[in-house]
Structures are given as C-alpha cells and as structure tokens.
C-alpha cells in the first residue's frame, strides 16, 4: 500500500521564485490497484509521480510504502527501493538506443543490491523471460534504435518489471504512440495488473485513464477528484 499524508513540495524554496507545486496532497493507493492520474500541464502530476518513485523529496507531510516512512531513509536505501520495489516507464522510453533490447532489460539486474546480484547467465534468462511477457523475445538481439515506438515501449516495460517490483509507475507511457499501439500497450499494463502489480499511470489521454480502476484528478497542486 502507498500512502501520502499532507505532502507539500516547493521548488526553489527560500528564493524569490519559490513555487509550491503540491499543496498538502493526501492519497492512498491499495496494493493491486490500477490508478490513473490526470490533469492539465503544470497541474503537479509529474511532481507527484517523482515523489511516488522516490526520485524527488518533499518538504513536509509523509510518504509511506508498506508502512515504511520514505522521508527518513538514506539516499542509498532510497536507491535500493527504486531498483527493487518500483518499476518506472517513461514517455520517451529512456532506453540506451545503441544497446540491444536484451541489454537494456538487463540493466536493472546489474544494479541489484549487494548480495542479490545474479550471474550473467541467470540475468540473461530473467531478461529474456521479461521480453517474452511483453512479446518482444524475437527482438532481443535487435538494437533499440531499430525498433518502432511501440516496440521500444514494450522493451521499457520489460525493463521496468525485470526486478519484479510490486509497483509500476508510468509517466505518459502512450503519449508518443498511435491509437492501435496505445491499445496494445494498455493491454500489457492491464495484464500486469491482473498479475497483482500496483500500477499508477500519469496520462493526458482519457481513453487510457478510463481503463484504470480509479481516476485521480489533480489541478494546481491539489487533488480535486478521486482520492
């Protein structure tokens, strides 16, 4: 379970151009939910997602993952959580274009915490399995720069789930895709959700949001619907 309790986030704090992006956000997401976060550009969606992903900190309030207080953790522990508990999918895929699909999926396994690292053969087998889950196993040895947008996003999803995280966060994952490819990518997310993954998707696309079990609307740094 994820819980945000009165989270405030200010950029450029203490400066003349200080800007409070989130104004006391409170939100609970139960394990196994599939949630969409919608809102206009600048509403605070990406800021909220970055806090949920343990990429960005917050000024006050508290964030809990399975009763763990995130604000009190060291940078090293936060990095472990990002790599082991959270899978991140970006609109621009964030893949290494010159690497093969397989090499990209293996990257999170290479950064596993000490004592949890696996041998190269085992890492490769796990990565292949993840590519099979998104129907990209036949492209394992293809450089990413030779793939279509939809294929790249499937590889990005495979990379996000390779460490078997309980939480998948997606930032506009279909924003650069056509309608048919969007439908295919959403089917992947829905299948992962059926397997028990908690999924949170930030999106401008209402057809994407409507496929989630709950829609949270945020405007001007405040949740106005769905919490």
Q: What is the pLDDT of residues 180-209, one digit of tens each?
A: 999 999 999 999 999 999 999 999 999 999
Calpha distance 44→193 (Å, rounded): 25
Q: Write out pLDDT tens, residues 94-135.
A: 999 999 999 999 999 887 654 466 788 999 999 999 999 999
Give dist(CA 146, CA 19) in Å, integer: 41
For residue 49, give Cα distances in angstroms to 32, 35, 58, 70. 17, 12, 12, 14
Res. 83 pLDDT band, cuts 50 70 90: confident
Which domains are assigned to the chain? Answer: 33-59+68-225 (3.40.50.300)
Tell which wins on pLDDT, 149 or 79. Answer: 149
Mean pLDDT over each residue of the chain, to the nearest integer: 93
Say whether pLDDT at 91 is over 70.
Answer: yes
- In a 10 Å sphere around its CB, with 0-12 CB exposed, 13-18 middle and 19+ buried, how is residue 180 labelled? exposed
Give ∠ CA 194-49-109 in degrees, rounded to 5: 65
pLDDT at 67 over 90: no
Backbone phi, psi, residue 222, to 5°? -130, 135
Q: What does the pLDDT look like over 213-224, one tens digit per residue?
A: 999 999 999 999
What does the pLDDT look like over 142-158, one tens digit per residue? 999 999 999 999 999 99
Q: Is residue 20 very low, low, confident or very high in pLDDT (cuts 50, 70, 90)? A: very high
| pLDDT score, position 113 | 53
CB-based burial of residue 85 (10 Å sphere; 0-12 exposed, 13-18 middle, 19+ buried)?
A: middle
**What pLDDT was estimated at residue 115?**
47
Taking the whole predicted model, whether its pTM rises above 0.85 is answered as yes
Partner residues linked to 88 by β-bridges: 169
């Amino acid at each position: 379970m994820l819980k945000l309790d009165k989270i405030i986030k200010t950029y450029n704090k203490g400066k003349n151009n200080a800007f409070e992006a989130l104004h006391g956000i409170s939100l609970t997401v139960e394990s196994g939910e599939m949630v969409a976060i919608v809102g206009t550009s600048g509403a605070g969606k990406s800021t909220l997602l970055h806090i949920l992903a343990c990429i960005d900190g917050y000024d006050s309030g508290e964030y809990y993952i399975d009763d763990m207080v995130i604000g009190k953790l060291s940078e090293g522990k936060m990095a472990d959580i990002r790599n082991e508990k959270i899978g991140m999918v970006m609109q621009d895929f964030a893949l290494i274009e010159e690497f093969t699909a397989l090499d990209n999926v293996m990257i999170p396994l290479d950064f596993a915490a000490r004592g949890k690292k696996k041998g190269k053969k085992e890492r490769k087998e796990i990565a292949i399995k993840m590519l099979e889950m998104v129907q990209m196993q036949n492209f394992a040895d293809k450089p990413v720069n030779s793939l279509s947008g939809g294929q790249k996003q499937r590889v990005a999803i495979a990379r996000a789930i390779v460490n078997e995280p309980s939480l998948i966060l997606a930032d506009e994952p279909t924003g650069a895709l056509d309608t048919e490819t969007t439908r295919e990518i959403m089917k992947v997310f829905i299948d992962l959700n059926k397997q028990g993954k908690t999924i949170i998707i930030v999106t401008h696309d209402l057809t994407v949001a409507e496929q989630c079990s709950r829609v949270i609307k945020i405007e001007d740094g405040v949740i106005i619907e769905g919490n």
